[in-house]
Structures are given as structure tokens and as C-alpha cells.
Amino acid sequence: MTAKPVVRPARAHFSSGPCAKRPGYTLSTLPTDSLGRSHRAKIGKTRLKDAIDRTRAVLGVPEDYRIGIVPASDTGAYEMAMWSLLGAKPVTAIAWESFGEGWVTDAVKQLKLNPTVIKADYGVLPDLSAVDQASDILFTWNGTTSGVRVPNADWISDSREGLTLCDATSAAFAQDLPFAKLDVVTFSWQKVLGGEGAHGILILSPRAVARLESYSPAWPLPKIFRLTKGGKLIEGIFSGETINTPSMLAVEDYLDALRWAESIGGLPALFARADANAAALNAWVDRTPWASNLAVDPATRSNTSVCIKIDGPAELPKAMASLLEKEGVAFDINGYRDAPPSLRIWCGATVDTADIEALIPWLDWAYATAKEA
């Protein structure tokens, strides 16, 4: 029987969403004076506006871009953008993992846009040079379920005719998002900053706003998708007047995460934490003969959702994940259900590198123990 390691991670939260809370987090630190109050009262609007303003400051969102808090997490934000903006131009939909596939499905089967679909298998990027810059472009920046990200936005033309709709939910706050190349950016609080689920962020460029105010889609829009009224943008959405009732507890939680980000040095510090976590884990992958990064090209490897293939039977990663969860040293690290059999270990900024380093001997133990079973 293989001996168990002695040192355990101080925090075993390596789930890829909802993700680990910030170091030192406790509920008791959250302000509670907004709880039980209307989100339309001054206190609610003030906190929601503060969340928008701090998001802009930490992420470096240009002043002429709108930021709104919307329902239904990243999915709701991205669906809102698709249903409100698409149909004016041809569409190119890009997918290399399950969430990108979801946007392809919506464009093809729900909106019936007859898009050009560019796909690649798990582990690699498709040929981005083939993207038609005259079309609206749908893509994920960081493929959460494959660990494959776009290395940059050089493939997006500054003189593009269409809009770029970027699902950035596992990238925002951990990877550089060049907003000049991006017309729509969406993400949820539950990823890199470890916030709670159910709320999404929708960021719109001036080009996206111009499309909204000049184009009406052919299909009906439910209330929670409507961004315009009388041909004009509903500006209140982008100043804290949410479409439906938000959780003020979740808002306070997100504000706590943003204040933590500011306190450690903002975006550069967040990037550095995620990079250090991923580097520690990938160093182990590189020296381990039975493990390999699902992302083939090092330039496309995520620094947040690191996906690891394990040599052996298809059920081996799941068995390892189960052993580690029972030991209380790693929760929720089995690969995504639609992905190839693998482990998926979150390395975002709220994870401490010391916990990644403490986890590594346990990965060796779990592999040996599962093989012996």
C-alpha cells in the first residue's frame, strides 16, 4: 500500500466553478446593511454601481464601454448578447470545447443563423486565420473544459466589420483581455474572483451599443434579454438598475473579492498568482510520465482551468478524484463530463500556490492507489 503524504492543502477547493473563495475569506467580514433592502433603494443601487465601477477599475475596461450586471451568470450574459445582437451580419462560431459548442448549438438550432462553424478537438485550437472578419464572431477566450485558451487577439482585425462576442468567464481577472479587439465580453463572478453564482457581467463596446440601437432582431426577446427601449439603450442597466432582483448578499460577496483584488495589487497581482499556480502544476506534469497537459501547445495552455490527461483506463481520473475527495485534499477535480477522461484543477488567483504544491504528492498517491485497486 502506497503511503499517504503528510502535508495537506490548507484549502482543498480546486473546483473550476464555483471556485475557491479568496484567501482569508469569512462570511462575517461582509457588510450586511444592504440585506433585506430593496435593490432599487439608494443603498442597493449604490452597492450595484460600486460593483460596476470596481469591475471597470480592476479589469481596466475603457470608459466608453458599458458594464452591466445581468441574470443567469455568464450563460445569461452571453445568451443576452447573442439574442440581442446577432442576425444583422453573417456569423462565425468557433468551438474547441463544450461551452463553445453550446454557443454553436444556439446559433444553429435556436437562432437558425446558418453560421460558419469552425471547430477543433479538445486539446487544440482551430485555425483562427480562417475567421471571416466581415462576420460577427462567437468564441470563448479560455476553454474551461479543455484548458485551451487563445494566446492573444492578433487574429482579430482592428478594421473588422462584424462584432466579436467573447465568453471570458474563466479568463477575466487572470488573462489579458484586449478590449479594443472585443465588442462583447461576458463572465461570471464565480470563477477567478471566487464569487457566488447566478449573476453575470455584460460588457459592451461602443460598436456593440451602436448595433443595439440600430438593429432589431427578427425574433421576440424575453424581458430579461431586453437591452433597449424605443431604439435606445436602457442606460440604467449599466449603472446598477438590474433587470430583475439580484442577490445583495452575492453583490456584497463580489465587492469583497474586488476589494481583495485591489489590496494585493490589482490585475498584475491576479495574473501573477494564477501564473504561479499553473506553473507549479505544469512543472509536475512535465516530470510525471503518466500525466500530460490536455492542451497540446504550451502557448495555448490555460493558467486557470488546467486539464490533465492520465495514462491508463478511462475510469482512472475519476477514481483518483474520488480518492482525493474522500481524503479531503481536493474537491471537484474530475474532468468535465463532455471532456476526454482527465483531471481539471483550478489554478485561478484565489488559489494559493502552497496548496497546489501540497496537492502534488497527493496526485502521485492517488494514481498509485487507484492503480493498485
Label residue 265 by pLDDT band (50, 70, 90). Answer: very high
Query: CA-to-CA distance for 212 and 99, rounded, in angstroms?
Result: 24
Q: What is the pLDDT of residue 373?
A: 81
pLDDT at 177 over 80: yes
Q: What is the pTM of this model?
A: 0.98
pLDDT at 88 over 90: yes
- What are the tens digits of pLDDT across the range 334-363? 999 999 999 999 999 999 999 999 999 999
- Neighbour count for residue 244 (Cβ, 10 Å): 10
Q: Which long-range contacts (CB under 8 A, 24 or more apart) does 279-286 make?
A: 280/353, 280/356, 280/357, 280/360, 281/306, 281/308, 281/345, 281/347, 281/356, 281/360, 282/306, 284/360, 284/363
φ and ψ of 3, to 5 deg: -70, 140
pLDDT at 251 over 90: yes
CATH placement of domain 265-372:
3.90.1150.10
Say if CB 360 and CB 9 are below 8 A apart.
no
Q: What is the pLDDT of residue 104?
A: 98
pLDDT at 282 over 90: yes
Give the start-end residues of each E strand in the chain. Answer: 66-71, 91-95, 116-119, 136-140, 142-143, 148-149, 164-167, 184-188, 199-204, 228-229, 232-233, 291-293, 305-310, 343-346
pLDDT at 11 over 90: yes
Handedness of CA 110, 111, 112, 114 (dihedral sign): negative
Over the chain, what is the mean pLDDT?
97
Query: CA-to-CA distance for 285 and 207, rounded, in angstroms?
Result: 43
- What are the tens digits of pLDDT across the range 108-156? 999 999 999 999 999 999 999 999 999 999 999 999 999 999 999 999 9
Label residue 2 by pLDDT band (50, 70, 90). Answer: confident
pLDDT at 90 over 80: yes
Domain spans in the chain, listed from the N-terminal domain onward = 27-262, 265-372
Q: What is the pLDDT of residue 176?
A: 98
Label residue 232 by pLDDT band (50, 70, 90). Answer: very high
Q: Which among 172, 168, 133 is positioned nearest to 154, based on CA atoms?
A: 133
- What are the tens digits of pLDDT across the range 26-50? 999 999 999 999 999 999 999 999 9
pLDDT at 180 over 90: yes
- Please tell me what DSSP assigns to residue 109: I
pLDDT at 1 over 80: no
| Collapsed DSSP state (helix, strand, coil) of residue 54 | helix
Label residue 328 by pLDDT band (50, 70, 90). Answer: very high
Averaged pLDDT for residues 163-183: 98
User: For the domain with range 27-262, which CATH number is right: 3.40.640.10, 2.40.10.220, 3.90.1150.10, 3.30.70.360?
Assistant: 3.40.640.10
Cis ω for the linkage preceding 18 (within 30 of 0)? yes
Averaged pLDDT for residues 303-313: 98
Helix axes 353-372, 316-326, angle to 10 degrees: 120
pLDDT at 318 over 90: yes
| Collapsed DSSP state (helix, strand, coil) of residue 8 | coil
Say if CB 70 and CB 186 are below 8 A apart.
no
Helix axes 267-287, 353-372, angle to 10 degrees: 30
pLDDT at 209 over 90: yes
